Each structure stands twice: as C-alpha cells, then as structure tokens.
C-alpha cells in the first residue's frame, strides 16, 4: 500500500518537472502529459475499488445502520473526489469558469444525494419532539 503511494508521488513529481520543461516549448503537449498522467494515476487507484467495496459491505453487515445511508455517504465522498479532480484539471488549463461550473455541479449533486438523509433527520427530530 505504502509503496503504491510512493510510486504515484514519484511519478507525479517527475511528470510535473517534465511538464515545466515541456511547457516552454509546447503548452499543448505539456497539458496532454498532465492529462495522461492524471488518467494513469486514476486507473491505478481504480484497482483498489474492489477492496474498498468489500470492506464497505463488511462494515454495513457489522453495523446496525441502514446500508442505504452508508452508501450515500460513500457516494458523496466519490462525488467530492471526482469533482475536485476535474476542477483541478480545468484550472490547470486556465479554464476557471469551467472549473467553477464543475464544482457547482458537484455541490448540487451532493444536495440531491443527501435528500434522503434530510428526511431521516426530520423524522428523528419529529420523534424527539413528541
């Protein structure tokens, strides 16, 4: 696990240095390198997804919480990571307006995703107030 993090960090640092050198001659090629490295790192990280899902299932089965609510929390976490990743790439391309649109889209998706949790919260408050 730690070796994977060190490898990814090393790759990203080397790619950043190469991008700075390449950027002087061709900004387009530097941006393609950034995009390629980001996709490569994303694919490396995706190899851990089955382990993550099995651990989440184990936690859901051990807890007495409703599994749907735990899934909502992990989906929200995924939306946050993906939104931040996309917005950062847009900012690297000097497209701040698009980055802001990506972030707003992510926030709206989080609100939509959290609506069932608000229902649960209101029901709980109503029971307490009775």
| pLDDT tens by residue, 104-117 | 999 999 999 988 88
d(CA 100, CA 67) in angstroms, rounded, equals 32
Span 55-105, pLDDT tens digits: 878 877 887 777 777 788 888 998 999 999 899 988 988 889 999 999 999
**The token pair that represents 28 in the structure block:** 């387009």
Residues 6+ apart with CB under 8 A from 40: 11
- State how far the alpha carbon of 57 is from the alpha carbons of 45, 65, 70, 96, in Å: 19, 12, 10, 38
Half-sphere exposure of 28 (CA within 13 A, CB side): 0
> What local confidence, expressed as pLDDT, does residue 8 receive?
84
Provide the residue ranges of all domains of the chain, joining segments of one domain with +.
1-47, 48-130
Q: What is the mean pLDDT of residues 23-30?
A: 88
pTM for the model: 0.69
The answer to whether the CB of 29 falls within 8 A of the CB of 22 is yes
Confidence band, pLDDT 50/70/90 cuts, at residue 28:
confident
Chain centre distance of CA 21: 29
> What local confidence, expressed as pLDDT, does residue 124 receive?
86
> What local confidence, expressed as pLDDT, does residue 98 receive?
92
**The token pair that represents 116 in the structure block:** 């069932």
Residues 6+ apart with CB under 8 A from 79: 106, 109, 110, 113
> What local confidence, expressed as pLDDT, does residue 1 receive?
55
Q: Name the DSSP class of 93.
A: T
Q: What is the mean pLDDT of residues 1-19?
A: 83
């Amino acid at each position: 696990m730690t070796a994977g993090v060190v490898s990814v960090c090393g790759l990203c640092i080397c790619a950043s240095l190469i991008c700075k050198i390449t950027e002087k001659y061709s900004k387009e090629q530097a941006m393609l390198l950034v995009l390629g490295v980001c996709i490569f790192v994303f694919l490396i990280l995706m190899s851990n997804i089955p382990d993550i899902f099995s651990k989440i299932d184990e936690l859901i089965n051990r807890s007495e919480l409703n599994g749907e609510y735990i899934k909502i929390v992990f989906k929200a976490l995924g939306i946050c990571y993906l939104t931040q990743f996309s917005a950062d790439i847009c900012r690297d391309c000097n497209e701040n307006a698009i980055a802001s649109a990506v972030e707003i889209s992510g926030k709206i998706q989080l609100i939509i995703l959290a609506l069932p949790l608000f229902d649960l919260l209101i029901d709980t408050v109503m029971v307490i107030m009775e």
